Structure formats: structure tokens, C-alpha cells
Amino acid sequence: MKKKQIYLLIFTIIFAINGVKSQNKKYDFNGFIQYINTTWNPEDNINWMEISSVHNRFDWHWYINNKLTFYAGLRNNLDYGSLLANFYPYYINSITQDNGFLNLTHKWTGKPNYFFYSNIDRLNLKWNYKKIEFTLGRQRINWGVNQVWNPNDIFNTYNYFDFSYINRPGSDAVRIQYYTGNFSSIQVAAKLNREKQITTAAMYKFNFANYDFQLLSGVMNKNFLTYGGGWAGQIKDVGFTGEVTCFTNLKNDSTPKTQCIASVAANYTFSNSLFVNVSALYNSAGKTQNIGQRDLLTSINLSPQTLTLSKFNLFGELSYPITPLIKADISAIFDPYDNSAFIGPSLDFNLSNSVDLLAMAQIFAGKTETEYGGFGQMYYLRLKWDF
């Protein structure tokens, strides 16, 4: 079946089911529409560039019976502006690249200064029976613990800077979970990517001394023996989490034989609702000089191994509700080896129960060819309606 036929079928089913959802509790339909205006002030260019985006998402759950659930998630994105024209066709090609085994991303139309595409990032069937949960299809396998950097997330690594992709990417995979107790489980999962490389791993989760622990082992992209673990707990009132994953190269090439990625984080909420979050990221194969510039704006070739090119990164965040309807937030990332940095201030306005307005900036500082330098500043205004 051609991709256009697949999309037309999904659209037809979703809207047909939505028409009768109020009479039938077996169906759940929701989503959102958001408009984002992005203005980019490049580091080495006096001409500012702009892109406007209209993003729409549908999430549809069909509860076939008390054991079977079908889930489809569909994104429709319209982007237009001078930024597209200046980076044509690289930007469009990178955004519409589907990393799954099945190519469920389709560009309907496009020119250098605009394009419209759709992406099915959830398409799976889940079966529950007693202590067993089985999921087949495009899904998100979330093994990460920390908020920012997730070395344990070997199936669905996400781009922290891509704040507009709220639901995060999925994988074409099969996953089996068996609950061995109230606070313990075993998961086994396998996925295929667009290069037909398999990632398969098992995870054991358990609770000990009021901490949630997880241990994992497997093979990533058929070339890396993968093993590690993570934890989540508290030291008094401070949340304390961490993850570490090591990758042993099974090929004879120039890639380091073994690379370990680790992140640790702590967070605390004060009595006045001020939230503080700090984190550190370590890359055993990272550079300490001539680090080079990352592709921060797309998710091509993103994996736990490429969370940073440097040996070490630091993260900090402050968040405070100015009023019950207005929240201020500022986050920052610092590379101590090349002194480059990222700063992300934002203001979130809750206009109603279903509408919010977000104003934010992504400010990159540092010399050219440093990890966070050379990008300049990006300014965003987002209006979002949930339904």
C-alpha cells in the first residue's frame, strides 16, 4: 500500500470514529493545534531569518476490548518562511527523514520557502493479559530517567532543543513487559531502523531502599554491545536520579572500543514553588579541545552516544509560577572545555483551560566551531490549543 493511501485510511478512520465517540466509550480522540513563529538571528549574518509553523496532532485510542488497545498518532506540519529558502533542501530533507523501518512520513507539497508534511509517529497494538503487556508497532519505548539527558534511552533518543515536538519520536518495535511484583518488572524490546539495523535489549526494574533501579543490556544498531542502568529516588526532599550506559564497539573501525555516557541530576521545589533542577553529563569518548559544532536543530543521527561531543556538560534550570496562570523558566547548558553555552528563558501564559501562549528564546554563545557557539539566537512565540 502506498504512503498516500495509508494516510488517507488513517484520516478516514480517525474522523469517522470521532463522529461517534460521544456515543461509544471504546474510542478516545484528542490532540492539539499550535502556531509557532521562529525568528533566527545567526551569529555571522546581519540578515535575520524567519519561519512560521502550523502543527496539528491527532491521538486516537481504540479500546477493542479489555485486553486489546489500538493507538494511532498523526502529526501534520506546515512550515513556511525565509529560513527554509536559505537552507533548502537540507532543512526540509532532515525534518522529513523517517528513521523508522517503515517510512510513515510523507511530504505532500513543498517549494524552497514552504512545505507541508505528515508523520505517523504512533501506530501500535497493545495486548494486556494478567501480568503481561505486549506492544507491536510504532511506539515510544521510554527507558530514560532524567529530564534532559537520557543515556538509557537507546530506542528513542530525543532532541532537547526541539521543544515543539511534545510527544517525542517513536520506533518500529516490539516490546514485552512482565510485572514480577508491585514495584518490579522485566522488559524485552527490539526495533528496526531505516537502515534495517536492529536494536534489542532487556531491562529489569526493581525497588530497593525506597529507590527505583533499572538494569539494561542488549545490542544497539547491531554494532554496539550495550549495558548500563539507572536510578530514581530522594535524598531527604531532594530528587536524585541518574543513568549510565556503556557501548562496546563490535566492529573493527576507528570508533572507540568502549564509550560510556553517564548523567546525574538533582531537583528541589522550595516552599514558595521555586523549582531548581541541575544535571551533569559525562562522555568518556568526548573531546576536551577542538570539540566542533553540533547539529542542534535537527535530530539526524541522534543517539545516546551523541548527546554531547564534549567530555563534560553542565545543566541548570529555575522555574517559578509568577501567578497561577503565568510561569517563568530559565535553563542553561555549559561546556567547560570550550566555554560555550546555551541559555533558554521562557514565559508560559495559561490563557484558558485549553489555550496557552509561550514566549521563549534559545541563545547560543561561544566561538565558532565550539559546541554551542556560532548559532546565534532564536526567538519563539507559540500559541497552542488542546482539544
**Cα–Cα distance between 294 and 280 in angstroms, integer?**
18
Q: Which residues is 363 bridged to in the sheet?
A: 343, 377
User: How do residues 67-81 score in pLDDT, each as one tens digit?
Assistant: 999 999 999 999 999
Residue 11 is predicted with a pLDDT of 62
Residue 46 is predicted with a pLDDT of 74
Is the alpha carbon torsion for 132, 136, 140, 141 positive or negative? positive
Q: How many CB atoms lie within 10 A of CB 319?
A: 18
359, 378 in Cβ contact below 8 A? no
Query: CB within 8 A of 41, min separation 6: which ones?
Result: 48, 376, 377, 378, 379
Residue 34 is predicted with a pLDDT of 98
In 3D, which of 161, 157, 87, 80 has the Cα closest to residue 363?
Answer: 161
Using a pLDDT cut of 90, give the percent of the chain over it. Answer: 80
Residue 24 is predicted with a pLDDT of 57
Spell out, as residue ranges, where the chain has pLDDT lower than 70: 1-24, 254, 297-301
Residue 25 is predicted with a pLDDT of 72
The DSSP string of 67-106 is SEEEEEEEEEEEEESHHHHHTTTHHHHHHT---BSS--EE
User: How do residues 64-117 score in pLDDT, each as one tens digit?
Assistant: 999 999 999 999 999 999 989 888 888 888 889 999 999 999 999 999 999 999
367, 338 in Cβ contact below 8 A? yes
CA distances from 63 to 57, 71, 170, 239, 379 (A): 20, 9, 21, 36, 41
Residue 4 is predicted with a pLDDT of 63
Residue 12 is predicted with a pLDDT of 58
Lookup: cell for 216:
539494561
Residue 368 is predicted with a pLDDT of 86
**3-386 domain in CATH 3.90.1150.10?**
no
Residue 22 is predicted with a pLDDT of 46
Residue 299 is predicted with a pLDDT of 61
Residue 13 is predicted with a pLDDT of 61
* Helix, strand, coil tally for the chain in percent (to 5): 10, 55, 35
CA distances from 196 to 99, 101, 192, 302 (A): 10, 6, 5, 16
